[in-house]
Amino acid sequence: MENIENKNTKISCEICPRKCSLAPGQFGFCKTRFNNGEKIISQSNGYSSGFAIDPIEKKPLYHFYPTSTALSFGTFGCNMGCNFCQNYHISKIGFAQSKAFNATPEQIVNTAIKYNCKSIAYTYNDPVVSFEYTIETAKTAKENNIKNVAVTAGYISSKYRKTFFENIDAANIDLKAFSEDFYKKNCLAHINPVLDTIRYVWHETDTELELTTLLIPNENDDEEQLKREFEWIASNLSTDIPIHLSAFHPAYRMSNKERTSVNSIINAYNIAKEFELKYVYSGNIIDDLTSATSCPKCKYKLIERNGYNVRLLTENPSVCPNCREKIYGRF
Ligand code: SF4
């Protein structure tokens, strides 16, 4: 998996675009992967920092078996450096601070089965840093008819993308902004590998794809940037892809910033609609209108949401019962 020169020299981790070059004993930017003297391994392999049973809508995934539950689990560390991280208590720490406990892929899958979870969600911190653990658990889940859901920033190298997404049934990829400056300044990363991952998942896999942009006041919510983002999605991907426009809560290095206003989210929603994106949703605010799923053709309401209270208004939302329009997703 990695280039091994000799026992005393550095080894490059090639999982993500950072390509950390690590001396024996040294950890990468993610605080998870390290050089054990022979190869790069992930310290999170077999260790979880916590589990929860969540509505699938919390991931957020609105077009993937709505009303089902996901067994969510995370590890620790992250390969992004986001100043606004909403999960910084697990993403910014290593194994020693994490209180992580041993959980084998089989135990995770058995827990999902025991609690009737339709899927396992690799979430909280980015599952890319726990690459081997994620793919092993996903394979075991698949063998047991449990679906796999990845919640990720999509910051993964082209070399490992295919293996990572092979057993992932649905993904919510964070498109944190539509600006290289924003990615550099606020995530210590670059936008192009993320766009490449999004393109890859949409065009080359069967993974159900949804995107999320967390709108941060005066950082990534200007009209010009939003228009570029929606235009890119409409012309490079598809107007079928569900987009979640979520409100930021002050956290981590942006704890002095104001929350995103409801008006700002609704404004972004209306801009997205100008680009004829069919399924646009508000997130982290309560608003019936912008959180419902309606048929893009005849506007018949198919799914109603109020927070995580979800009501299917038709038995099978994959086809509009009024005009027979096909609705994107898995239901
Ligand atoms: S996964 Fe971690 S160690 Fe590997 S390149 Fe990315 S940040 Fe560096």
All domains of the chain in start order, with CATH: 1-42 (no CATH), 52-295 (3.20.20.70)
Q: How far is the CA of 20 from the centre of ligand 1 (A)?
A: 6
Q: What atom in ligand 1 is closest to the CA of residue 19?
A: 5
CA distance 316 to 240: 18
Q: Which atom of ligand 1 is nearest to the CA of 33?
A: 3
Nearest C-alpha neighbor of 121 from the set 106, 141, 102, 144:
141
What is the per-residue pLDDT for 7?
A: 58
Spans in the chain with pLDDT lower than 50: 2-5
Kindly give the number of the ligand 1 atom that is closest to the alpha carbon of 29. 7
> What CA–CA distances, in Å, run from 64 to 151, 211, 288, 318?
13, 13, 19, 10
In sequence order, what E strands does the chain have? 11-12, 21-22, 33-35, 40-42, 47-48, 50-55, 69-74, 101-102, 119-122, 147-152, 170-174, 208-215, 243-247, 280-283, 293-294, 301-306, 309-312
Ligand 1 atom nearest to CA at 14 = 5
Cβ(18) to ligand 1 under 6 A? yes
CB 60 within 8 A of CB 244: yes
Residue with tokens 């993904």: 171
Q: What spacing in Å lies between the alpha carbon of 298 and ligand 1's midpoint?
A: 47
Q: How many Å lie between the centroid of ligand 1 and the Cα of residue 10?
A: 14
**Relative to the CA of 18, which ligand 1 atom is closest?**
5
Q: Is the CB of 33 under 6 A from ligand 1?
A: yes
Count H helices and E strands in the chain, helices first.
Answer: 10, 17
First to last CA, the chain: 37
- Indicate if ligand 1 lies below 6 Å from the C-beta of 16: yes
d(C-alpha 291, C-alpha 272), whole Å: 14
The pLDDT tens digits for 172-225 are 999 999 999 999 999 999 999 999 999 999 999 999 999 999 999 999 999 999
**C-alpha of residue 189 to centroid of ligand 1, in Å:** 12
Is any ligand 1 atom within 6 A of the Cβ of residue 48? no
Q: Is 153 in the pocket of ligand 1 (CB under 6 A)?
A: no
Ordered DSSP codes for 64-90: BSTT-EEEEEE-S--S---TT-TTHHH
138 CB-side CA count, 13 A: 23
**DSSP 8-state code for residue 235:** I
Q: Whose CA is nearest to atom 5 of ligand 1?
A: 19
Q: Which of 118, 120, 116, 154 lies closest to 134, judged by CA?
A: 120
Token code pair at residue 33: 């992967």
**Closest by CA position to 188, among listed 97, 34, 84:** 84
Say what the pLDDT of residue 49 is: 85
- The pLDDT assigned to 123 comes to 95
pLDDT score of 4: 47
156 lines ligand 1 (CB under 6 A): no
Say if CB 43 and CB 32 are below 8 A apart.
yes
Q: Which atom of ligand 1 is nearest to the CA of 155?
A: 6
Q: Which helix (H) or strand (E) holds 327?
A: none
